[in-house]
Amino acid sequence: MSLQNTIESLASSFATKILAALREANLTELADIAGDEVGNGRAVKVTSVPKGKGGRLQRRSTDDLAEMVERIAGLLAKEVAGLRAEQIREALGVEKKELPRPIQEGLASGRFAKSGQKRATVYTLGKGKKGKK
């Protein structure tokens, strides 16, 4: 008998004995070996955590927008190198959809200046109204 035939014979008998032992074992024993508890047989639903409120923002007054522009300006005054929109959002603790309008108004009034494109856009304090460097 060759070595290969011997190994195949041993592997086959080993696999047969393992399968027989598994068939004879009950679920509780298998769960104890695996370290898990036996469930009721139902699949577990995996739910994801919601990121934030869905839907549109509530209409904001001009005072609310002006207050947000002031908060952003105060933050930019502390950061000489400027900040990206993600950094502004994290520092102020607001949602992503709350920032575009105040930033747009700040840019239009000259309070803010920007450089770069897309996600590399950096906002700094501008030379406009109340925003002198």
Asked if 97 contacts 61 with a C-beta cutoff of 8 angstroms, the reply is: no
The residue ranges of DSSP E strands in 1-133, in sequence order, are 112-115, 122-125
Give the per-residue pLDDT at 51.
60
Rounded mean pLDDT of 101-109?
A: 95
Q: What is the CA radius of gyration of the chain?
A: 32
Between residues 120 and 129, which one has the greater pLDDT? 120
Q: Which residues contact 85 (CB under 8 A, 6 or more apart)?
A: 99, 103, 121, 123
The residue ranges of DSSP E strands in 83-128, in sequence order, are 112-115, 122-125
For the chain, the first-to-last Cα distance in angstroms comes to 91
Asked if 124 contacts 82 with a C-beta cutoff of 8 angstroms, the reply is: yes
Give the per-residue pLDDT at 48.
66
DSSP 125: E
Give the per-residue pLDDT at 133.
47
> Which among 3, 120, 68 has a CA at the least distance from the CA of 76?
68
Q: How many CA atoms lie within 13 A of 124 on its CB side?
A: 12
DSSP 42: P
pLDDT at residue 32 tops 70: yes
The model carries a pTM of 0.56
